[in-house]
């Protein structure tokens, strides 16, 4: 070795130590070689250790060290500071590229071999722990954020995260349920794998609600949990819970790590299962095994090191030509076609609009499909169900052909009668085809790709009367919604707040909401446009995810607005996470509709069963003072003339901000069309002793008068 001041190669002894920011990287995409570890020799010289290092070389180019990989035919100067990152498939580090043979205790260089002594056994590949392998493998899978709460059952994993904090972010939450919701929201908004972490026992149990949200809405999430000591499982030890049994129903992949050599295989399989099956993967690791060194876990004779891969591609399946033609025949034969487009059709908006134009078909959007096409499109009639629109209900009642695209909308009573309507369904999951409606043709495939092969077979429909009727109905509906959004009386109506917020949202805002009456106001008054995204707990319909979703959205897309539009009932369940937003300086915006009641439950008690409300009133909380106590800012509006200024102030605030909107607790989330049975049950509940019957009756009367005056 030339005497360049880096090290002496003749008979000297090197002191070898792990660099402070040591990380592992898989260069398989570069040269099909295994992992290499960035180390420092005498604090100055870096080298890459592992298999396949013969392909690496170094030289002095103009006095500056340069590395080269001959197989990849890549050459670049070494940077002046150790970074240990891969950028454009180049590993950048300082010093000279050396290799370490820990068994022979020698350092190999381009010039020759020299003896070395290891300052610590931790300096070699064999010293890596199970937790190190786990976190490094997450990095290989592209994971850059983990949501969780520390605990002594995951101390090893936490240490691995700490030493890699420049490359993977750990977001500490106040409750593990929120961590699971954040992972779910992150997966929904990015399409990537969401990851959450919890300790053994109670920590793992707390994850379940958020994980069921991911399961039921098809979000890919990896849940990592701790477990008690491996040799004390089955002895009723502290915090011992049979986590594999507990997670059996929620997870598509559910395994326990049995040793350090087992980690890479399980992480690969778990990540692949979650992404491929759009569900939850769960991996639990006994706390003592997290610290086990790879060198201490002997592989079985049948296990080949490195036999799994982090390579994964999303499937883009297209049905066979025969089935596509059959579907086209059914659709072309109809005269009154409705397209029901759900979450699975996100990203296929252009194709859906083309199809709608060809078939003169209105597009009806279940809630999770709200962002499939813009709400101002002339082809959509908006939502369906109790929080949907009247034109959507009418269109589905009159349809003679139904195309279900990426949806398994559960409320079958809103779908067309079976004897008068033919059906076609597109879904990536064959198990969902025919689940809600007896379709004639099922197309198993990606919605966008399937529509692209279907469109050339669809004939332009000359009769546009069915679409024209739906569009006329939407003009009337929008006029009614506009009337309700501009009521200037008191108490303040929630519709006024929602409509004003809608005007202040950026065209790429990410809006998260909760379950309850808040969902009705969001569905009807937040009009999706541009690149906006929208989500909530769809099939699980859980309260509380709005705030965690917004936090996840802001972490994923820091440059975009992230707004939580929530009710006071759902917000208070996990409102501690507002402090999480403050801690990480995430400028999310939270609008709390405060009516001091569990509104949806109240109205369901009355309208569904004819019972008086019971157990639904909430003790008021001053959310403005709460926001300030967390270190953020809060605003309040109680009258219609205060709404815009309060919301604008919230939006302009530099950091996390909250706006409390005190609204009429007696404003009902009226269905688009009131059924006779619903009106009868309402009357029964008032007659049976509803404590607020006078106020409710007066509110209903005034709302009706306002609607009529607006027309």
- 127, 159, 184: which is the final residue of a domain? 127
Residues 257 and 278 in one domain: yes
Tracing tokens 């949990």 back to the chain, one arrives at 225
Residues 191 and 88 in one domain: no
- Name the 3-class secondary structure at 31: helix
Report how far residue 137's alpha carbon sits from residue 267's, in angstroms, rounded to the nearest whole number. 7
Report how far residue 86's alpha carbon sits from residue 68's, in angstroms, rounded to the nearest whole number. 14
Q: What is the pLDDT of residue 359?
A: 98
Asked if the model's pLDDT at residue 5 lies above 90, the reply is: no
Q: For residue 146, is it within any domain?
A: yes
Q: Which residue has the higher pLDDT, 410 or 12?
A: 410
Q: For residue 633, is it within any domain?
A: yes
Residue-wise pLDDT tens digits, 198-214 = 999 999 999 999 999 99
Q: For residue 477, is it within any domain?
A: no
Residues 689-709, mean pLDDT to the nearest whole number: 70
- Name the 3-class secondary structure at 612: coil
Q: What is the pLDDT of residue 295?
A: 83
Q: What is the pLDDT of residue 702?
A: 66
Lowest mean pLDDT among 375-379, 662-666, 706-710: 706-710
Q: For residue 306, is it within any domain?
A: no
Q: What is the pLDDT of residue 704?
A: 61
Residues 135 and 114 in one domain: no
Residues 142 and 120 in one domain: no
* Backbone Cα Rg of the chain: 30
Report how far residue 678's alpha carbon sits from residue 673's, in angstroms, rounded to the nearest whole number. 10
Residues 345-369, mean pLDDT to the nearest whole number: 98
Using a pLDDT cut of 90, give the percent of the chain over it: 72
Q: For residue 606, is it within any domain?
A: yes
* CATH number for 199: 3.40.50.970
How many domains does the structure of the chain reveal?
A: 4
Q: For residue 6, is it within any domain?
A: no
Terminus-to-terminus CA distance in the chain, angstroms? Answer: 89
Residue-wise pLDDT tens digits, 140-169 = 999 999 999 999 999 999 999 999 999 999
220 confidence band (pLDDT: 50, 70, 90): very high
Residues 95 and 134 in one domain: no
Q: What is the pLDDT of residue 67?
A: 40
Residue-wise pLDDT tens digits, 550-593 = 999 999 999 999 999 999 999 999 999 999 999 999 999 999 99
Q: What is the pLDDT of residue 301?
A: 72
Asked if the model's pLDDT at residue 380 lies above 90, the reply is: yes
Q: What is the pLDDT of residue 707?
A: 64
Q: For residue 530, is it within any domain?
A: yes
Residues 513 and 661 in one domain: yes
Contact assessment for residue 661 and residue 645, using Cβ atoms and an 8 Å cutoff = no
Asked if the model's pLDDT at residue 88 lies above 80, the reply is: no
Question: If you average pLDDT over every residue of the chain, what do you get?
Answer: 84
Tokens standing for residue 389: 């629109």
Lowest mean pLDDT among 44-53, 400-409, 508-517: 44-53
Report how far residue 466's alpha carbon sits from residue 361's, in angstroms, rounded to the nearest whole number. 7
Tokens standing for residue 455: 């469109």
Residues 79 and 157 in one domain: no
- 68, 98, 127: which is the final residue of a domain? 127
- 295, 310, 334: which is the final residue of a domain? 295
Using a pLDDT cut of 70, give the percent of the chain over it: 80
Residues 108 and 148 in one domain: no
Asked if the model's pLDDT at residue 494 lies above 90, the reply is: yes
Residues 150 and 289 in one domain: yes
Q: Which residue has the higher pLDDT, 302 or 179?
A: 179
* CATH number for 424: 3.40.50.1220
Report how far residue 492's alpha carbon sits from residue 507's, in angstroms, rounded to the nearest whole number. 27
The residues, ordered by sequence, that sit 6+ positions from 3 with a Cβ below 8 Å of its Cβ are none
Residues 333 and 191 in one domain: no
Torsion over CA: 163, 166, 168, 171 (sign): positive
The residues, ordered by sequence, that sit 6+ positions from 104 with a Cβ below 8 Å of its Cβ are none
Residues 430 and 521 in one domain: no
Q: Among 196-205, 287-296, 671-680, which range has the highest average pLDDT?
A: 196-205
Residues 597 and 631 in one domain: yes
Asked if the model's pLDDT at residue 77 lies above 60, the reply is: no
Tokens standing for residue 106: 């020698």
CA 84 to chain centre: 29
CA atoms within 13 A on the CB side of 224: 32
Q: For residue 701, is it within any domain?
A: yes
Residues 164-178, mean pLDDT to the nearest whole number: 97
Kind and range of the H or E run holding 178: helix 176-190
**Domain containing 30: what range?**
15-127
Q: Is the peptide bond before 491 cis (omega within 30 degrees of 0)?
A: yes
Asked if the model's pLDDT at residue 232 lies above 70, the reply is: yes
Q: What is the pLDDT of residue 9?
A: 30
Q: Rounded to whole angstroms, what are the CA distances from 188 to 94, 147, 242, 556, 567?
A: 40, 15, 29, 11, 21
């Amino acid at each position: 070795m030339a005497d360049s001041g880096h090290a002496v190669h003749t008979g000297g002894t090197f002191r070898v130590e792990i660099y402070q920011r040591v990380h592992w990287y898989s260069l398989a995409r570069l040269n099909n070689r295994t992992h290499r570890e960035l180390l420092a020799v005498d604090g100055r010289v870096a080298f890459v250790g592992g298999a396949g290092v013969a392909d690496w070389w170094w030289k002095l180019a103009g006095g500056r060290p340069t590395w080269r990989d001959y197989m990849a035919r890549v050459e670049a100067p070494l940077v002046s500071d150790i970074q240990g990152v891969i950028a454009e498939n180049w590993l950048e580090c300082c010093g000279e590229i050396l290799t370490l043979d820990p068994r022979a205790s020698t350092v190999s260089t381009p010039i020759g071999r020299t003896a070395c002594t290891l300052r610590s056994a931790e300096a070699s590949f064999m010293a890596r722990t199970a937790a190190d392998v786990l976190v490094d493998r997450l990095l290989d899978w592209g994971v850059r954020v983990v949501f969780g709460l520390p605990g002594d059952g995951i101390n090893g994993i936490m240490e691995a995260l700490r030493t890699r904090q420049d490359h993977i972010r750990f977001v500490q939450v106040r409750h593990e349920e929120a961590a699971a919701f954040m992972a779910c929201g992150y997966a929904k908004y990015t399409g990537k794998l969401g990851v959450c972490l919890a300790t053994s026992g109670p920590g793992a149990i707390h994850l379940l609600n958020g994980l069921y949200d991911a399961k039921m809405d098809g979000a890919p999430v990896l849940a990592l949990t701790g477990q008690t000591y491996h040799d004390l499982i089955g002895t009723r030890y502290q915090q011992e819970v049979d986590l594999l049994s507990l997670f059996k129903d929620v997870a598509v992949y559910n395994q326990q790590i049995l040793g350090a050599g087992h980690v890479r295989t399980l992480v690969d399989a778990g990540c692949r299962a979650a992404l491929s099956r759009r569900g939850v993967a769960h991996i639990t690791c006994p706390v003592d095994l997290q610290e086990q060194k790879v060198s201490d876990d002997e592989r079985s004779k049948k296990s080949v090191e490195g036999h799994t891969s982090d390579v994964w591609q999303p499937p883009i399946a297209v049905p066979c030509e025969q089935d596509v033609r059959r579907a086209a025949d059914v659709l072309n034969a109809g005269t009154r076609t409705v397209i029901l487009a759900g979450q699975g059709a996100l990203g296929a908006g252009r194709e859906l609009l083309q199809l709608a134009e060809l078939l003169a078909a209105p597009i009806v959007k279940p809630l999770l499909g709200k962002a499939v096409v813009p709400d101002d499109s002339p082809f959509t009639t908006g939502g369906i169900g109790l929080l949907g629109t009247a034109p959507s209900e009418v269109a589905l009642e009159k349809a003679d052909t139904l195309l279900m695209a990426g949806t398994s909308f559960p409320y079958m009573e809103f779908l067309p009668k079976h004897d008068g309507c033919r059906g076609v369904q597109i879904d990536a999951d064959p198990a969902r085809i025919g689940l809600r409606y007896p379709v004639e043709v099922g197309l198993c495939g990606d919605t966008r790709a399937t529509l692209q092969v279907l469109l050339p077979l669809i004939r332009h429909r000359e009769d546009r009367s069915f679409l024209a009727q739906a569009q006329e109905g939407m003009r009337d509906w929008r006029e009614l919604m506009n009337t309700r959004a501009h009521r200037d009386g008191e108490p303040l109506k929630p519709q006024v707040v929602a409509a004003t917020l809608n005007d202040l949202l950026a065209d790429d805002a990410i809006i998260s909401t909760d379950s309850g009456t808040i969902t009705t106001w969001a569905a009807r008054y937040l009009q999706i446009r541009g690149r906006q995204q929208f989500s909530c707990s769809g099939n699980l319909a859980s309260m509380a995810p709005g705030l965690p979703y917004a936090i996840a959205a802001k972490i994923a897309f820091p440059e975009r607005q992230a707004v939580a539009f929530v009710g006071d009932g759902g917000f208070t369940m996990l409102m501690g996470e507002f402090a999480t937003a403050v801690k990480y300086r995430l400028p999310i915006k939270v609008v709390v509709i405060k009516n001091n009641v569990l509104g949806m439950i109240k109205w369901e008690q009355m309208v569904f069963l004819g019972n008086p409300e019971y157990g639904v009133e909430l003790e008021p909380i001053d959310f403005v003072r709460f926001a300030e106590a967390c270190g953020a800012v809060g605003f309040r509006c109680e009258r219609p003339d205060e709404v815009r200024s309060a919301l604008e102030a919230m939006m302009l605030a530099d950091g996390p901000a909250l706006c409390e909107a005190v609204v009429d607790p007696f404003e009902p989330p009226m269905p688009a069309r009131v059924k006779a049975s619903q009106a009868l049950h309402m009357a029964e509940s008032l007659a049976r002793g509803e404590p607020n019957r006078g106020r409710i009756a007066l509110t209903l009367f005034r709302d009706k008068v306002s609607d009529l005056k607006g027309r």
